[in-house]
Amino acid sequence: MRPDYKELDPQKTYLITGVAGFIGHFLAKRLLEQGCRVAGIDNMNDYYDVSLKRSRLAGLMQINGGSSAFSFIEGDLADKGTVRAVFNKYRPNIVVNLAAQAGVRYSIENPGAYIQSNITGFFNILEACRHSYDQIDQNSGYQGVEHLVYASSSSVYGANQKVPFAEDDCVDHPVSLYAATKKSNELMAYTYSHLYHLPATGLRFFTVYGPLGRPDMAYFSFSRKIMNQEPIQVFNNGDMYRDFTYIDDIVSGVERVLCNPPGAGGVRHKVYNIGNSKPERLMHFIETLEKALSRVTGRRQAAKIEFLPMQPGDVPRTYASTDRLEQDFGFKPRTGIEEGLLKFAAWFKDYY
């Protein structure tokens, strides 16, 4: 653990982008429950079911009896004026950039969406962080943005063979445009740290799942199809491994990083993996999901499987090394898929 480690500071203002998204929602919830002020922005795009995004937001509005600690702004990061106005109004101390066009397969279909949100949007965030230093104000004590934390992804490791994936491994061979935008974010953040002394931390998340999760992800469509007795498509003939990471573990990891920007003495930019460090064979994951769905519905749920070849942009295996995270923050995800999928299945049965 870092000797200078600091717990979450409820006196700070946190700006979360992508707050109506899966991870953004749970992070905002955690911060609000601990008495923090949270401003959240999201463009509410219809890449997946917007009503799910609305219900996540409605949940946030109710925390602490609907206190004024949470402000929501519907707006697009690709619009520079909007981003600047949000920074001017809320003067965040800590910025967490989670807004992005996510998904690997969709980046083949609609590459432009990735450039818009992940490149232009992230550039606007970096610029707003940089210009927050023009607002430093001795009277109010505002110091500008003290830490930018942003979502990267395990997809930056591409088809690397060496496992577990460690932060210092070469990540110069992305196999999807999504991965290329995430790697670009790391490079862009590094440059802003170098040029403007913006302290920044990139978090490479590994396949995040849980209640209120993303309908475009495989476990979600698998669940719907298993319950409807429709066949599920399993790529690479099932020979795939994923380091599935439960949402609460991701949020705990992010929470520990927030008030701990990379230390002075060099460029203040660092990258961490947050993953379970326990890759699951996809077929075992599906069996565990069948059991969880059977348990919550009280009847046997069996998947009908259609095996297909590997899809372009996909990778056969993800596996996180969490040594760096453990060393600096004394934390490592611990939730196994048996426990995590049961919680997901219970929510899924009620919501859908």
Ligand X SMILES: NC(=O)c1ccc[n+]([C@@H]2O[C@H](COP(=O)([O-])OP(=O)(O)OC[C@H]3O[C@@H](n4cnc5c(N)ncnc54)[C@H](O)[C@@H]3O)[C@@H](O)[C@H]2O)c1
- The residues annotated with a catalytic role in the active site are 178
24 touching ligand X, by CB under 6 A: yes
Q: Which residue is nearest to ligand X (CB)?
A: 21
Here the tokens at position 7 are 């717990």
Could you say which of 39, 69, 95, 121 contacts ligand X (CB under 6 A)?
121
Taking the C-alpha atoms of residue 152 and residue 204, their distance in angstroms, rounded to an integer, is 4
243 binds ligand X (CB under 6 A): no
- Tokens encoding 219: 């476990």
User: CA-based Rg of the chain, rounded to a whole angstrom?
Assistant: 20
Name the DSSP letter for residue 74: E
Q: Going residue by residue from 150 to 169, which x/- string records binding to ligand X, judged by CB under 6 A?
A: -x-x----------------
In the complex with ligand X, which residue's Cβ is closer, 101 or 277? 101
Q: What is the DSSP letter of 46?
A: T
Tell me which residues in 202-241 interact with ligand X (CB under 6 A). 205, 207-208, 214
Nearest to 331 by CA among 273, 271, 262, 247: 273
Cβ atoms of 338 and 345 closer than 8 Å: no
Q: Is 249 in the site for ligand X (CB under 6 A)?
A: no
Backbone torsion region of residue 48, taken as left when φ is above 0, otherwise alpha when ψ lies between -120 and 50, otherwise beta: beta
- 79: which residues sit within 8 A by CB, 6+ positions away? 124
**Which of the ranges 16-24, 277-285, 286-294, 326-334 carries the binding residues for ligand X, by CB under 6 A?**
16-24
53 binds ligand X (CB under 6 A): yes
In angstroms, the CA 147 to CA 63 distance is 25
Q: How many CB atoms lie within 10 A of CB 122?
A: 25
- Does position 29 interact with ligand X (CB under 6 A)? The reply is no
* Residue 44 within binding range of ligand X, rule CB under 6 A: yes
Residue type, 127: E
**Which of residues 21 and 301 has its CB atom nearest to ligand X in the complex?**
21
Q: Which one of the spans 36-44, 230-238, 258-266, 314-322 is the region binding ligand X (CB under 6 A)?
A: 36-44
In the window 287-326, what residues touch ligand X (CB under 6 A)?
none
Number of residues binding to ligand X, judged by CB under 6 A: 28
β-pairing, 147-153 with 13-17? unpaired
Q: Interface with ligand X includes 18 (CB under 6 A)? A: yes
Residues of this chain that bind ligand X (CB under 6 A): 18, 20-24, 41-45, 53, 76-78, 98-102, 117, 121, 151, 153, 205, 207-208, 214
